[in-house]
Amino acid sequence: MLEGKIVKGIGGFYYVKSDGEIYECRARGIFRKQDIVPMVGDDVKIRLNKEDETTGYVEEILERRNELFRPPVSNVDQAVIVFALRSPDPNLWLLDKFLILAEEQEIDIAICFNKIDLVSDEEKLEYNRIYENAGYRVLNTSTETGEGIECLREVLSGKTTVFAGPSGVGKSTLLNTVQPDLKLQTGSVSEKTSRGKHTTRHVELMSLELGGYVLDTPGFSSLELDFLTEENLEVYFPEIYSKSEDCRFRGCRHNKEPGCAVKSAVEQGEISEKRYENYLLFLKDAMERRKY
């Protein structure tokens, strides 16, 4: 039997990559009986058909390290969350939402600020400071100047990565720069949709020459935040969570309570005001949801 990885699944067929070759496989009926559905990202053992050795059967699914639901993919190592520093301007509330969704999946996270060629160094450092202080690894890239591309390669190398971020921030351009033969379509949203790019979106892992895989998907953007509650919200903000042990009250929401260590950290400039403002917005949402 061959060992490989499911890189794509369409209509009951699983495309398994093994040693650089792709095999079109069906799943053994036994999986259905056990209520197991093979998924993209699964490491599997396959048996090839004698009459056609480009096809086969998935015989065994190796134990999954994790499972993401949206996008549906297993054995993910990390999320790289891409935001542009200009064009479009970064919406930090949306970035914090992506971070919450990635934190929820319990995978490593790196933030990639792209299009740094369009802003001053001061502005770039300002954004870096906010997110480095929050405990995140930050990369700065430009596909125009090539800055940071080597760092991005290192981050992606050997890992299975969900490459997420809003439309137009340069995800496809970055991946094409990392590996030109991917030939992903780039350009404005309207250009792409008129060429039908988004009409048949399925989950597919792209293999990198440097080793590793990248998931071609807009990421977690469609996911709702309905798992957030007043109580658990702080866990999704690493810098707020680590300060919260010093709050006077257990169960402090870091909102109007006296003796709140988070609020004093914001006043001292230890926690970014922007992050704290967004925390309060998500807190308000969670409280609203509770009412219904």
Ligand X SMILES: Nc1nc2c(ncn2[C@@H]2O[C@H](COP(=O)(O)OP(=O)(O)OP(=O)(O)O)[C@@H](O)[C@H]2O)c(=O)[nH]1
Q: Does residue 219 bind ligand X (CB under 6 A)? A: no
Q: Which stretch binds Zn ion (CB under 5 A): 40-48, 88-96, 212-220, 261-269?
A: 261-269
Burial of 251 (0-12, 13-18, 19+ CB in 10 A): exposed
Q: Which of 55, 133, 186, 264 binds ligand X (CB under 6 A)?
A: 186
What's 122-191 look like in SS3?
Answer: HHHHHHHHHHHHCCCEEEECCCCCCCCHHHHHHHHCCCEEEEECCCCCCHHHHHHHHCHHHCCCCCCHHH
Asked if residue 260 binds Zn ion (CB under 5 A), the reply is yes
Cα separation of the two ends of the chain: 54
Distance in Å, CB of 232 to Zn ion, minimum: 15
Which among ligand X, Zn ion, none contacts residue 25 (Cβ within 5 to 8 A by kind)?
Answer: none
The vertex-114 CA angle with 172 and 178, nearest 5°, equals: 45
Answer yes or no: is 169 a known binding residue. yes
CA-closest candidate to residue 214, choices 284, 268, 164 = 164
**In the window 121-150, what residues touch ligand X (CB under 6 A)?**
142-144
**152 token code pair:** 């991005």
- Residue 91 lies near ligand X (rule: CB under 6 A): no
Should residue 244 be labelled a site residue for ligand X when binding is judged by CB under 6 A?
Answer: no
130 binding Zn ion? (CB under 5 A): no
Is 10 within any annotated ligand binding site?
no
Least CB distance from residue 221 to ligand X, whole Å?
A: 9
- C-beta of 88 vs 238, nearer to ligand X: 88
Does residue number 262 form part of the binding site for Zn ion (CB under 5 A)? yes
25 is in an annotated binding site: no
* Distance in Å, CB of 245 to ligand X, minimum: 38
Of residues 210 through 249, those in contact with Zn ion by CB under 5 A are 247
Q: Is 247 part of any known ligand binding site?
A: yes
Q: Tell me if 222 sits within 8 A of 166, measured CB to CB.
A: no
Tokens representing 172? 């496809």
Whether the Cβ atoms of residue 127 and residue 143 lie closer than 8 Å to each other: no
Q: Which residue minimizes CB distance to ligand X?
A: 170
172 binds, among Zn ion, ligand X, none (CB under 5 to 8 A by kind): ligand X
Is 172 flagged in the annotation as binding? Answer: yes
Q: Is 166 annotated as a binding residue?
A: yes
Residues that bind Zn ion (CB under 5 A): 247, 252, 254, 260, 262
Instruction: Please report, as ranges, the residues that interact with ligand X according to CB under 6 A.
Output: 114-115, 117-118, 142-144, 165, 167-173, 186-187, 189, 192, 218
